Structure 1
Amino acid sequence: MQQIALLGTSADPPTCGHQALLEGLLGLYPHVATWASDNPQKQHGAPLALRAQLLQALVEEINDPRLQQDQTLSHPFTIRTIEQASNRWPEAELVFVVGSDLAALIPTWKSSAQWLKRCRLAIAPRQGWPLSEQALEDLKQLGARIDLLELQVPASASSALRRSPQQQQIPAPVWMLLLQHNLYGLSPSLR
Structure 2
Amino acid sequence: MSELPSLALLGTSADPPTEGHRALLEGLADHYGQVATWASDNPFKQHGAPLGLRARLLAALVEAIGNPRIRHVQQLSNPRALITVERAAERWPGHSLVFVVGGDLVAQVPTWWKAAELLQRCRLAVVPRKGFALYPAALEAIRNLGGQPELVHLPVPATASSSIRRHPSPEQVPAALWAELVRHNLYGLGQQPSRSLR
The TM-score range, normalised by the shorter chain, is over 0.9
1:177 aligns with 2:180: yes
- TM-score, length-normalised on structure 1? 0.96
- 1: CA distance, partners of 2:147 / 2:6: 16
Residue number among 100, 107, 110 corresponding to 1:107 in the alignment: 110
After superposition, where does 1:47-62 map in structure 2 within 5 Å? 47-62=50-65
Contact 1:32 1:66 in 2 (8 A): yes
- Measure the CA separation in 1 of the matches of 2:124 and 2:17: 22
**Equivalent position of 1:129 in the other structure:** 132
The 5 A counterparts of 1:48-127 are 48-127=51-130
Contact 1:100–1:123 (CA<8 Å) still a contact in 2? yes
Cα 1:64–1:83, aligned 2, differ >3 Å: closer, same or farther?
same
Comparing 91-100 and 174-183, the one that deviates more: 174-183
Runs of 4+ with deviation above 3 angstroms? none
Instruction: Give the 3 Å change call, closer, same or farther, for CA 4–128 of structure 1 in structure 2.
Output: same
Residue 28 (structure 2) aligns with: 25
Match of 1:143 in 2: 146
Rounded to whole Å, the distance in 2 between the matches of 1:43 and 1:174 is 21
User: How far off is 1:81 after superposition?
Assistant: 0.3
Asked if 2 retains the 8 angstrom alpha-carbon contact of 1:125 and 1:153, the reply is no
Report how many aligned residue pairs link the two structures. Answer: 191
Q: Which residue of 2 aligns with 1:2?
A: 5
| Identity between Structure 1 and Structure 2 (%) | 57
CA distance in 2, matches of 1:35, 1:83: 15
Read off the aligned partner of 1:160 and give its amino acid letter. Answer: S
Q: CA deviation at 1:190?
A: 6.8
Q: Tell whether the 8 Å contact from 1:35 to 1:55 is kept in structure 2 after alignment.
A: yes
**Structure 1 residue 186: deviation in Å?**
2.6
Structure 1 position 181, deviation (Å)? 1.4
CA-CA distance at 1:89 after TM superposition = 1.1
Structure 1 counterpart SS, 2:101: strand
Report whether the alignment pairs 1:167 with 2:167: no
> Which string of whole-angstrom CA distances, capped at 9 and with x for unpartnered residues, describes residues 100-132 of structure 1?
000111111111111111100000111011211
Post-superposition Cα deviations, 1:64-91, rounded to whole Å, max 9, x if no partner, equal: 0011000110001101101101111121
Query: What's the TM-score once normalised by structure 2's chain length?
Result: 0.93
SS of alignment partner, residue 32 of structure 2 = coil
| Cα deviation code 1:5-40 (max 9, x no counterpart) | 000000000011111100100111121000001111
In structure 1, the residue corresponding to 2:124 is in which secondary structure? strand
Gaps in structure 1 of 5+ consecutive residues: none
- Structure 2 unmatched runs, 5+: none
